[in-house]
Structure 1
């Protein structure tokens, strides 16, 4: 098992919007709003922030998008809080993983969230539907190969079950934001 708190790289395909997503996690504390425009370029003497220029250039050049937010680690013996910088680039061919029933998708979402230190989690399987309660403000329903997730920051969100990584990260992000000091 890797040492807790080391940087992490995650690359995956999204099927809902055909794109490839790259995420880089680090355990440094969240420092607020991500700079944009002229503020994106750090001063010459700065020791950090140049990676954001690179990410922005890639996204602009290839019609993608990028951002940063609070998150939790995926690797290591104990999940830790930190931040993630991500960018997504469109691909020409959609990624279509094998079909997954709602119960299997809900169990996998529960496993991914528990691995990130989110819990306690409550799963209820029903007829062609499963419900995962994360906390009072966050609930995920799985039905007809679709996740329906309530997040206070963005309301109801619908994603195909093939985008389970994106759904997981959205829940982790919201959970971290809700638990963050004001």
Structure 2
């Protein structure tokens, strides 16, 4: 990654955007390590934070290499469909904010029968569906972070294909100013922003129905209804009521995708 590309990605993280890269073939672990080392260093965090993030993405990328890369397919030209992807973004509007490192692959992951979405925990080492990510659990515990995996959809490639995202969220030092900032936007604007993010992730326009009612607005996303009300996105999913600040639209998008993809997969299994 060039110095200018590193600076551009770090600036995007500071502004609250999600930055994503495709991870090519058998070089994907090394590629992911280099990206994270360069971009996270550009945030001005301590060296031990960079080290933890680099170790984490090594585990995430190795997991995707084993479980997801076989689904990649070349198109007639770029982009490639089905390659694992690395996503970085900062979530939270209060301190400490979290840097989220997520690697997406085309594997179906666990059976997603648990009630909690995103699925969080330490899987059994021999479990194919659990993927044996104990190192992430240890890193999360050591750093007071969180980790998990959940169904999602790719933001890159020719098609926004479904798959599984495994992630680690690391608390950022309080002096690092990065991530979503408070925005005084109307509920209608917030719902349109969310709808735009979901369309970018492959949710068809016919599956999104927006309604505005005075100081509130709502978006129907497949089976799920999301409200923009009193400065937050609100919905009730498999694990109960959920809430994300309107400024945190990137994280809200990924959590809503986890809910809708979980419901879609269960419906397919039952049907």
TM-score range (shorter-chain normalised) is 0.7 to 0.9
CA offsets, 1:64-89, max 9 Å, x none? 11111211111112111110101111
Q: 1:15 aligns with which of 59, 68, 92?
A: 92
Cα 1:161–1:174, aligned 2, differ >3 Å: closer, same or farther? same
The structure in which a higher percent of residues are helix is: 2
CA offsets, 1:1-45, max 9 Å, x none? 6312111111111124521111110012224378836x23x59xx
Across the two proteins, how many residue pairs are aligned to each other? 174
1:143 aligns with 2:229: yes
Q: Helix, strand or coil: the match of 1:56? A: helix
Q: Helix, strand or coil: the match of 1:162? A: coil
Cα 1:174–1:96, aligned 2, differ >3 Å: closer, same or farther? closer
Cα 1:177–1:96, aligned 2, differ >3 Å: closer, same or farther? closer
Q: Helix, strand or coil: the match of 1:2? A: coil
* CA distance in structure 2 between the partners assigned to 1:116 and 1:15 by the alignment: 21
TM, length-normalised to structure 2: 0.57
Map of 1:97 onto structure 2: 181
The structure in which a higher percent of residues are strand is: 1
* CA distance in structure 1 between the partners assigned to 2:110 and 2:92 by the alignment: 31
CA offsets, 1:81-140, max 9 Å, x none? 1101011111232745141412222111101111222242011223232211112x3111
Map of 2:256 onto structure 1: 171
1:131 aligns with 2:212: no
Q: Helix, strand or coil: the match of 1:133? A: strand
Q: Helix, strand or coil: the match of 1:68? A: strand
**1:60-139 alignment to 2 at 5 Å?**
60-93=141-174, 95-101=179-185, 102-119=187-204, 120-135=207-222, 137-139=223-225
Q: Helix, strand or coil: the match of 2:83? A: coil
Map of 2:137 onto structure 1: 56
Q: Helix, strand or coil: the match of 1:5? A: coil
Ranges in structure 2 where 5+ consecutive residues have no aligned partner: 1-77, 113-118
* CA distance in structure 1 between the partners assigned to 2:245 and 2:182 by the alignment: 12
Ranges in structure 1 where 5+ consecutive residues have no aligned partner: none
* CA distance in structure 2 between the partners assigned to 1:67 and 1:31 by the alignment: 11
TM, length-normalised to structure 1: 0.82
Map of 2:109 onto structure 1: 30
**Bigger radius of gyration among the two:** 2
